[in-house]
Amino acid sequence: MKKIIVGSRESALAVAQSMTVVNYLKETLKETRVELLTMKTTGDRILDRTLDQVGGKGLFVKELDAALREGRTDLSVHSLKDVPMEVPEDLPLIGFSGREDPRDVLVLPKGRTEPDPSLPIGSASLRRSLQLQKLCPGFRIEPIRGNLQTRLRKLDEGQYSALVLAAAGLIRLGLEDRISRYFSPEEMIPAAGQGILAFQGRAGEDYRYLEGIIDSEASACAVCERAFTRELGGGCTSPVCAHAQVKGEKIFLRALYYNEETKECRTGQAEGNLKDAEAIGKDLAKTLRDADRGSEKNQ
């Protein structure tokens, strides 16, 4: 009997996400044995420092890449926002899932209706922290690491007044009731790829069995958002962020550019034909970067 082994991080969220793929394959490939192989990644082990201090979110895929190369797995499932902008040629991204709610949300300790201003708001990314400073003036914003359950435990123990998390993760784990407030993409631009699952495989292999779970609209958004971020040299720890939406044959992109030298943020929007998703992302990145450079020269 043919066998397909799906690789995943071992966190509860990663497993829940990967099991959607495993279950799909079990339903559609009746004569194939489908198994899940989980592993702890370097990014999961290092919890005492922020990601930008230890090498970025590429640390979350290192062990999964090795398993693919060695043939211990046939396919990896990732949260797309955790996948580095540059992917190895021998391990291409072969498709993207439909998108779960891409928004960021505010989560309060159990029993509270407002954040305690004497405690910090926990944020795992500079992207969120920069945008939170405008939304929540007067609050301290401090980093928080660990899987979703660990962060929620720290919140409920009284270490933080609130957390800002991705809605997608909470929804996929059945924890939607913990959400106190949704931030619209206009208030807080999500990370590129947020809410989308990425499927990664080995170059040259046949992955047509994934066709039924790959989503064309989410794929266009993924290409557009990652093109914006890649053009600016942004990695997974960069505050550069982009969010695309498909409406008919059009794609709309909202994005944020951050100048690390001046600490200035600049946001912009673009739209165009769906078939031009990648070019739209690149062009908006160039527009915002050029506008920022022009502003510096005039100062």
Spatial neighbors of 123 by CB under 8 A, at least 6 apart, are: 129, 132, 141, 142, 143, 144, 163, 164
The answer to whether 65 is a known catalytic residue is no
Tokens of 18: 């990967």
Rounded Cα gap, residues 44 and 148, in angstroms: 12
Rounded Cα gap, residues 114 and 229, in angstroms: 34
In the beta sheet, which residues pair with residue 3?
33
Rounded Cα gap, residues 208 and 155, in angstroms: 43
Which of 104, 61, 40 minimizes the C-alpha distance to 243?
A: 104
Spatial neighbors of 270 by CB under 8 A, at least 6 apart, are: 252, 253, 255, 280, 283, 284, 287
| Percent of the chain as helix, strand, coil, to the nearest 5 | 40, 25, 35
Sheet holding 264-273, edge to edge: 241-247, 250-259, 264-273
Name the CA radius of gyration of the chain, rounded: 19
Rounded Cα gap, residues 281 and 261, in angstroms: 23
Rounded Cα gap, residues 179 and 148, in angstroms: 13
Which of 176, 193, 169, 30 minimizes the C-alpha distance to 97?
A: 193
The residue annotated as part of the active site, out of 82, 90, 116, 276, is 82
- Single-letter amino acid code for the residue at 60: F
Rounded Cα gap, residues 108 and 199, in angstroms: 33
Please identify every residue annotated as catalytic. 82
